[in-house]
Chain A
């Protein structure tokens, strides 16, 4: 029976990458001195599983590499060896190396052999031994030169408790019978009288003779599981006359086998080149989420059959029942939708888990003392959002390490603890997820940024800016305040990309800082990208959806509060603020807009980039959840429109992209 092992590779890679993360986290904890015996056990277990799996699924190089890590970890676990800081460094590098090998195997890249060799040697160095794992070939050859008699005398007497280990003497005798010609007799002299007979015990023993070309090792193998629960003696009856001849033949066999075992290695390497296409990404879902879903579908089907029964024989007297059914259908659909969305949700720890290592490596490099504190790792976010938020977070944390936290001596001079703290927090607020990166470093010097902004021509000298506006300068392309460019951060590329990435996820970033005390970068993200709470509005004959998150309020404009500003268009004075007005009908050239004069329509006040605008529409319809369909993949990209959705009556409504609208009106 041949089984295609490749079908298990995806799962194997997933759990191995997870195992590597576990090892990394464990090693970092060890380094911080927070570890106990269970920690080292966990690390060992992860290495052990990777080794077992990689051997089974045909990744020999990974298995060999993990073997030596496992040996080292085993010694640490048994207390034979103390793990030093340098030792942990070597192990961490080895984890990186394994990750590289695993990535190469899963995505079809190349393994950097020199990297593997370096790490392998470093591990070997710690172990201080030179025995290579592939040294057993000589032993095998030696085996085959042992004597092969033509018959064996086997006496087999199982102990009383033999069967209590799940053993079965018949199995052993059957197996022996397959190896050659088996004769013998059963000894029943120990069987007690019937009244004393305990059927759970074993009273029989056997004397057998096995003829055929069988080695002692083969027979030992049959008895290997029961050595401890039985007395076994195996003696040769007569020497094989053709012994020398036989031996010669055997060793030849071994050579052929050895040659054959090298061949698959080459073809495996060739295979690897072919499968360069990365595997489909998959998602791990808790069984309870799937159960909820099945439950929900069951309910939906029941409601559906109830409604169809009602429909077959409908009259007005059953109207109430119909309405009841429709309400039920509505509820089940909504619940089903929520459950499906739940499946895409993964905890943010997937992203957070990389930071302990990063903070450790960077602080070591910069000679700073930094501890990382994380909260809310179990906060769940849409998988796409999780994937896209990783890089911006890395950048912000790097930034905090490099520019935020001071050198230990500066911290002591400033009366702060020597060790700086970086906090990562994730939590729900409203319909959003908020991720905060907090450091207790030197904070952002507003004057420096302001002057730099002036110098770069981003700000007019002498103009008055709010704190937030000053901080926003940080996210401008090409803006860097670091006097010296380090390879950690400070090239000025990045912060603008950070902001762009967050905006593309429909999120926003805010900065707060107190000079001398530290900074907080706060990222706000929507829970999901697939569904959006929207306000539907009409302009002319068309429906549009405005995302609810960007709406501040809606007002009916009064004539006396309208102004025309030369060169800047219309504004509306709302309380103390003058809002620029965006007319949808003008922006999209809608000819038959109902409301021509502003006082006939409505003004939806929206917020983008910290500024308020009034979007002028004919009428407001209602709030609803809409499923976002990409306009780009179904039609083409349109400025000011972020997507489309299908409304209850089957018509298409376009979803307005508020920041895009503002850019259009500029």
Chain B
């Protein structure tokens, strides 16, 4: 009994929610941020609201994740090591699978040039830090219902 449970856990990486995803039809959200606390906060908030969330810590890892599954919404930080948010958005938008997917920037930069830079890279919109979980949920609900 134990043995099967463990091997099951091992094979699925402990993520049964992913298996149930098709059944419950939860929206799948990718959150990208180099700061673990922000990432956890976003993921926790969204999971609490019934969304399924995958976390990535920089643009490159997020891009790799985007190829393994199809996300319904992508929320990304802008300032990140390895690959920054703007570059990530540009690459992601170029993918056939993500031509119409909403992509939100999560940024402290409320200045116009960062926003327009993000927009021209293909971002749908932005959420300005600092924000609280309720504000985040309101925006996410607005975008993917």
Contact = CB atoms under 8 A, between A and B. Distances in A.
A127 B126 CA distance: 29
A15 B37 contact: yes
B108 interface: yes
A294 interface: yes
A171 B142 contact: yes
B44 A3 contact: yes
A45 B125 CA distance: 22
A55 B130 contact: yes
Interface stretch (A5-13, A416-424, A505-513, A614-622): A5-13
Given A48-B79, A165-B119, A63 B143 contact: no
Contacts of A302: 3, 6-7
A7 B45 CA distance: 12
A78 to B, nearest CB: 11
Interface stretch (B15-23, B62-70, B98-106): B98-106
Contacts of B108: 48, 51-52, 55
A164 B99 contact: yes
A305 B131 contact: no
B25 interface: no
B133 A3 contact: yes
Contacts of A48: 79, 108
A638 to B, nearest CB: 41
B2 to A, nearest CB: 5
A565 B100 CA distance: 93
A195 interface: no
Given A53-B37, A165-B124, A166-B102, A1 B143 contact: no
A297 interface: yes
Contacts of B130: 52, 55-56, 63
A7 B122 CA distance: 34
A15 B35 CA distance: 7
Contact of A49 (B79, B103, B116): B79
B6 A166 contact: no
A182 B108 CA distance: 33
Contacts of A51: 108
A254 interface: no
Contact of A225 (B7, B99, B107, B126): B126
A556 to B, nearest CB: 50
Contact of A298 (B10, B45, B133, B142): B10
A42 interface: yes
A200 B7 contact: no
Contacts of B38: 49, 52-53, 56
A665 interface: no
B48 A3 contact: yes
B107 to A, nearest CB: 8
B49 interface: yes
Contacts, number: 114
B97 interface: no
Interface string A557-586: 000000000000000000000000000000
Contact of A11 (B37, B80, B133, B142): B37
A11 B3 CA distance: 34
Q: Which of A2, A7, A166 is packed against the most chain B CB atoms within 10 Å?
A: A166
Interface residues on A, range: 35 or more
Contact of A166 (B40, B44, B101, B131): B101
Contacts of A11: 36-37, 40
B52 interface: no
Interface string B112-139: 0000100110111110011111100100
Interface residues of B, number: 45
A175 interface: yes
B119 A228 contact: yes
B142 A175 contact: yes
Interface in B64-90: 79-81
A200 B48 contact: no
A57 interface: yes
B35 A52 contact: yes
A640 B26 CA distance: 64
Nearest to B116: A228
A305 B3 contact: yes
Nearest to B137: A1
Interface in A173-222: 175, 200
A610 to B, nearest CB: 47
A118 interface: no
Contacts of A15: 35-37
B116 to A, nearest CB: 7
A475 B127 CA distance: 59
Contacts of B93: 164-165
A566 B81 CA distance: 73
Contacts of B125: 224-225
A647 interface: no
Given A45-B80, A56-B41, A302-B3, A1 B126 contact: no
A56 B129 contact: yes
Nearest to B2: A301
A323 interface: no
A435 to B, nearest CB: 30
A310 to B, nearest CB: 14
Contacts of A623: none
B129 A166 contact: no
Interface of A: 1-3, 5, 7-9, 11-12, 14-15, 42, 44-45, 48-49, 51-53, 55-57, 63, 163-168, 171, 175, 200, 224-225, 228, 294-295, 297-298, 301-302, 304-305
24 contacts: A1-B134, A1-B137, A3-B48, A5-B132, A7-B44, A8-B40, A11-B37, A14-B36, A42-B81, A45-B34, A48-B79, A49-B38, A52-B129, A53-B35, A53-B37, A55-B129, A56-B38, A163-B100, A166-B101, A166-B103, A166-B123, A167-B124, A294-B9, A301-B3
| Nearest 8 interchain pairs by C-beta | A55-B130, A225-B125, A166-B124, A12-B37, A166-B102, A56-B130, A11-B37, A52-B129
